[in-house]
Structure 1
Amino acid sequence: MSFPWANEYKPQNAVTKWVDERLPLPRLVYNAVGAGYPVPRNLNYFWNFGVLAGVALVIQIVTGIVLAMHYYASVDGAFNSVEHIMRDVNAGWFIRYAHMNGASFFFIVVYIHIFRGLFYGSYKAPREMIWLLGVVIFLLMMATAFMGYVLPWGQMSFWGAQVITGFFSAIPLVGEPLRQLLLGGFAPDQAALNRFFSLHYLLPFVIAGVIILHVWALHIPGSSNPTGVSVKAEQDTVPFHPYYTAKDGFGLGIFLIGFVAITFFAPNLLGHPDNYIQANPLSTPAHIVPEWYFLPFYAILKAFTVNFGIPFTGIVLIEAKLMGVLAMFGSILLLFFLPWLDTSPVRSGHYRPLFRKFFWYGLIPSLVVLTYCGAQPPYTQWVVLSQIAAAYYFAHFLIILPIVSRIERPLPLPNSITEAVTGKPLQTATA
């Protein structure tokens, strides 16, 4: 973001001047997260979660590298190597629990980050590329988390891999060859474990690379803000440092308190007890469930129970399994088109009364219901609830949002960010 009032980096001594002339890394940091980066003055604590997501990724990479030093990617030794880490490696239990719960906290902050973007219209022009890169990061996170869940080679690890990769076989013609290519065979075994371990180790660094692009794209138009009003003058902004570094530091402290509390006092709260049983291909668990952060999408998958075909002819055009797979992936892919589905000129949900009602009383409850139903056995009542919630989820983005953006009468917007903060016009505040 290039504003004429942005502070210019000035080396303080001969050494920093020499470094800046040959490798302008200090200048880059200063302009990215320092006093050289003007930020809207009205950001609330929902804007903390981007930084928290970056911290969570660092925790995952550091703990993951340490775990990889002791992990043995073998169907005969993977489960025992995890037990070895827990029992024999110095602080191994802490590293393993931090990595395991760090994944959950990573998804928590990313989900809040996404919901903030949905409510405040952070996907609208000129920030479409920021949003698209964020969705790419989310997809990479899901792939990384799934492959990581397989590595302990417990009962849920094995059967989760069996079920999830089995979805590919629903794709006509190429589905089964694609599944065999992914697994390296006809079922999860040594080849699959090698593949998943390699990809699980690699993808976090790919995520880090896309995050750099994400932040780079953010700095071109600048940060959004709760009003959705564009920056108009120097009085609308404050330097990122020290104002928002202090605010992010406070948010980081709250995040770490919760993370440490779970890691030390309830490390298995978000896990499944069956994964402490070594994988047995001959013993299917009574109820196979993914990790909690996959539950809404798992519920969408299970919501499709009837084949789609021509009535009274017995001709099946699309099998229920394939429809479920398409819907599950489609529920994420439609986020790519969100900047063009919502055509309202107003960004922030604070000034969109009709949108706000559908968001808080429609979309959020539907996702809560999907999360709950995803953890339940496939009984009729849970399937019906999943179908209703999944129908609303797709209707919200594909039908309701485009209509609301055309018929809604937004509330009056403030003339500037300064006016929204101080209650005074920009000229008065400037004077």
Structure 2
Amino acid sequence: MASHSPYEWKNPTVAWIDRRLPIFSMARADLVDYPTPKNLNYWWNFGSLAGIVLVIMIATGIFLAMQYTPHASLAFESVERIMRDVNYGWLMRYLHMNGASMFFIVVYIHIFRGLYYGSYKAPREILWIIGVFILLAMMATGFMGYVLPWGQMSFWGATVITNLFSAFPLVGSDIVTWLWGGFSVDNPTLNRFFALHYLLPFILFGLVFVHLWALHTVKSNNPLGIDVKGPQDTLPFTPYYTAKDMFGLGVFLIFYLFFVFFQPNFFGEPDNFIKANPLVTPAHIVPEWYFLPFYAILRAITFDLFWGLVPAKLLGVLAMFAAVLILALLPWLDRSPVRSARFRPIFKWVFWLFLANCLLLGYVGARPPEGINVYLGQAATAVYFLFFLVVLPLLSFIERPRPLPTSISTAVTPAGVGVSARGVAE
């Protein structure tokens, strides 16, 4: 039996298709008529920007894969051939190479926006956790992609990072051997990483689809962090937020394409323009900039536990993974009844201090692990975990939030009257 669309389509072809496969009705419901809180600001642009960058990365990656040769003897030269001999190969590579940095920039801003406005709180816990899995998939994809040019930093970065798995007792060495495809980083490693780097973006795309599904189920959060009270609090997504997203996209593309055309190697490492040489170790091995905070956490652990039973290397690896996975526990670590930091006077300052601490971790991760950098990294790592495990739970009890508006509509009018945050929670 044909389904009945809630919309009356004037075009007979569209109507015929929609009665049998309601793709046009779904698109209209989710992209046009979707009720969106009327007070969303430009910080809400970064979710859609992340989706656009993902599409750019997949499209340019497919074209690059047509010309790339995943072989240890030919990979570096094939990248040079793409840059010099393939028509617009330089453009595809620079879009892809700088697109990775753009992807992480917009996603990190998206995460910190969610943290500031409490987008991880009920009923959006699953939405937030899916976002954490997206971040993990991005990291895995970015790391494997960084190995493919087969320069010095690619080779030695792969050697150092994959070696970390050897810290796990019993299975660690077997995991490293499987990742390498042998007993050192070589041609089998490159083939594995190329295959996984090509596959993971499509898994990432699936996770993004589920993320959007969850978003449209629980609806968007907003800067006030209060629930929509009725139609007076919302606007249809199109044309209002479509226009806003298009403006944000225009500004973002100016920023993105500036690096593509004028500073294409700004985010790169000079050593990666030298072909991989297993006999020559770079003076300072560093990952891409978007991994630096986690790299600093890894290096901050310089001590053993329980008289050497738990070595520093294992502790560092666990701390590095925990730094990402702890984000998934945010809905339960922060029990404050108020979402938005606008109404949480202590949390607002704590948030900015946490952001500054993350930037400090990134700086330390880029520096050699010596002298004061070691102590800075250890202090910043301690602050990072204290924020989640001590500060947030404590604020849930001691902080007195400011009064919340009664609704989104009243918040933008002079007559808006607030009620107590704790009263709303009750």
TM-score category of the 2 structures, normalised to the smaller one = over 0.9
Partner in structure 2 of residue 332 of structure 1: 324
1:154 corresponds, among 144, 151, 154, to 151
Partner in structure 1 of residue 263 of structure 2: 266
CA offset at residue 11 of structure 1?
1.5
Does 1:177 pair with 2:174?
yes
Counterparts of residues 372-383 of structure 1 (less than 5 Å):
372-383=363-374
SS in 2 for 1:39: strand
1:344 corresponds, among 326, 329, 336, to 336
Does 1:249 pair with 2:246?
yes
2: CA distance, partners of 1:402 / 1:130:
21
Partner in structure 1 of residue 80 of structure 2: 83
Partner in structure 2 of residue 278 of structure 1: 275
1:143 corresponds, among 140, 145, 166, to 140
SS in 1 for 2:275: coil
> In the alignment, is the contact (CA less than 8 A) between 1:183 and 1:192 conserved in 2?
yes
Partner in structure 1 of residue 413 of structure 2: 422
2: CA distance, partners of 1:10 / 1:211:
30
2:376 corresponds, among 377, 385, 392, to 385
Q: 1:349-379: CA deviations, max 9, x gaps? A: 100001111111x211110110000000111
Q: 1:210-233: CA deviations, max 9, x gaps? A: 101000000111110000110011
Partner in structure 2 of residue 73 of structure 1: 70
Q: 1:280-305: CA deviations, max 9, x gaps? A: 00000000000000000000001011
Partner in structure 2 of residue 317 of structure 1: 309
2: CA distance, partners of 1:424 / 1:153:
63
Counterparts of residues 286-297 of structure 1 (less than 5 Å):
286-297=283-294
Does 1:24 pair with 2:22?
yes
Partner in structure 2 of residue 429 of structure 1: none
Partner in structure 1 of residue 161 of structure 2: 164
SS in 2 for 1:366: helix
Q: Which moved more, 1:177-186 or 1:266-275?
A: 177-186
1: CA distance, partners of 2:343 / 2:182:
54
SS in 1 for 2:36: strand
Partner in structure 1 of residue 236 of structure 2: 239
Residue identity matched to 2:165:
F
CA offset at residue 8 of structure 1?
5.4
2: CA distance, partners of 1:408 / 1:87:
60
Q: 1:6-25: CA deviations, max 9, x gaps? A: x9533222221111101111
Q: What is the root-mean-square deviation of aligned Cα atoms in Å? A: 1.1
Residue identity matched to 2:207:
V
> In the alignment, is the contact (CA less than 8 A) between 1:183 and 1:191 conserved in 2?
yes
Residue identity matched to 1:332:
V
Residue identity matched to 2:335:
T
Partner in structure 2 of residue 52 of structure 1: 49
CA offset at residue 425 of structure 1?
4.5
Residue identity matched to 1:423:
P
SS in 2 for 1:199: helix
2: CA distance, partners of 1:25 / 1:91:
35
Q: 1:68-88: CA deviations, max 9, x gaps? A: 000000000000000000000
1: CA distance, partners of 2:355 / 2:6:
43
Partner in structure 2 of residue 3 of structure 1: none
1: CA distance, partners of 2:415 / 2:70:
63
1: CA distance, partners of 2:22 / 2:219:
21
Q: 1:400-421: CA deviations, max 9, x gaps? A: 0000011110000000000112
Residue identity matched to 1:328:
M
Residue identity matched to 1:15:
T
> In the alignment, is the contact (CA less than 8 A) between 1:418 and 1:424 conserved in 2?
no
Q: 1:63-120: CA deviations, max 9, x gaps? A: 0000000000000000000000000000111110110000000000000000000000
Structure 1 length-normalised TM = 0.94
Does 1:407 pair with 2:372?
no
1: CA distance, partners of 2:246 / 2:13:
29
Residue identity matched to 1:43:
L
Q: 1:242-276: CA deviations, max 9, x gaps? A: 00000000000001001111000000001101000
Partner in structure 1 of residue 12 of structure 2: 14
Stretches of structure 1 that go unaligned for 5 or more consecutive residues are: 1-6, 310-314, 427-431
SS in 2 for 1:422: coil
Residue identity matched to 2:404:
L
CA offset at residue 317 of structure 1?
2.1
Does 1:356 pair with 2:314?
no
2: CA distance, partners of 1:348 / 1:375:
33
Number of aligned positions between the proteins: 413
Residue identity matched to 1:85:
I
Deviation >6 Å, runs of 4+: none
Partner in structure 1 of residue 422 of structure 2: none
Residue identity matched to 2:110:
H
Q: Which moved more, 1:119-128 or 1:9-18?
A: 9-18
Residue identity matched to 2:17:
V
1: CA distance, partners of 2:7 / 2:52:
26
Does 1:130 pair with 2:109?
no
Stretches of structure 2 that go unaligned for 5 or more consecutive residues are: 418-426
